[in-house]
Amino acid sequence: MENWIIYILNGLYFASFLFLTSLGLSIILGVMGILNLAHGSLFAIGAFMAAWIVGAFGAKAPITIFVIALLAALGVSGLMGLLLETSIIRPMYQRALEYQLLITFGALLLIEDLIKMTWGGTAYYASKPFDIMGNLVIGNNQYPLYFLFVILITIMAGIGVWFIMSKTRIGIMLRAISMDREMARAMGIRIRKLNTLAFGMGAALAGLAGALIVPTTPALLGIGMEPLIMAFIVVVLGGLGSLKGALVGALIVGETRSIGIVFFPEIELPLLFLIAVIILVSKPQGLFGR
């Protein structure tokens, strides 16, 4: 029983990163209709920014500096998202899907080069927050408190996004754009500005996810590729533009990975694609897609 508690908690920990990354991707896809392949690079920017700040300034107060690093990663990734949308993505709205794929893939390569120019090709480590938080004793096992910290931050971020999308005027307008862009434009909604805001919000969430992962994984070039692939699986499972879908999809993928790594590691990744295929065959729009 104690082992299963650990497996479930590990699944929630995996799901936290997937939820933040896929939620940002789902917002961009749902509101703007842009398939953003550069999303993984925004994740990487958050990871490198947080690792650099903790490594440079976190010797005496690692927890305080780490919180600052999270905010910095969120802000820098969001600003990079705003810059991408206004300078590169905006001309692609009326183009075919293949143009979007090419331009966002080009943006991915550009950001990777910018990361390499800024931080070099070496790994950045930021393990102090993980070490300082210690462990929680569960039976005969010790479980890192940092994992619970990540889950808590993810819950807070999810509630914040839900509040913005459900209870604010901006959120209502974003949902209106995702449902019927032409009618929203006819009602006087400033679609261009809201597109920029949606892209920046999605980028900031990806950067936050990247910042949260560096106390357990070094920031390396290409760190955002696996989260990008997993985020696409989550969006496919949960349904395009759905907050509930991103949450349920992340939980499915996170728990499957956690249990799969323990019991059948050889087929853990193919199993995720099998689950995605089964759901798409029975419900092509995803579990909560409309």
Q: Does the structure show a pLDDT above 80 at 257?
A: yes
pLDDT of residue 150: 93
Look at residue 45 in the predicted model and tell me its pLDDT: 94
For residues 67 and 149, is the Cβ–Cβ distance under 8 A? no
DSSP tag of 88: I
* 194-205 pLDDT tens trace: 888 888 999 999
Which are the contacts of 48, defined by CB distance < 8 A and separation ≥ 6?
A: 115, 118, 119, 124, 210, 219
What does each C-alpha distance from 124 to 36, 146, 213, 223, 277 come to in angstroms? 26, 19, 12, 11, 37
pLDDT tens digits for range 37-58: 888 899 999 999 999 999 888 7
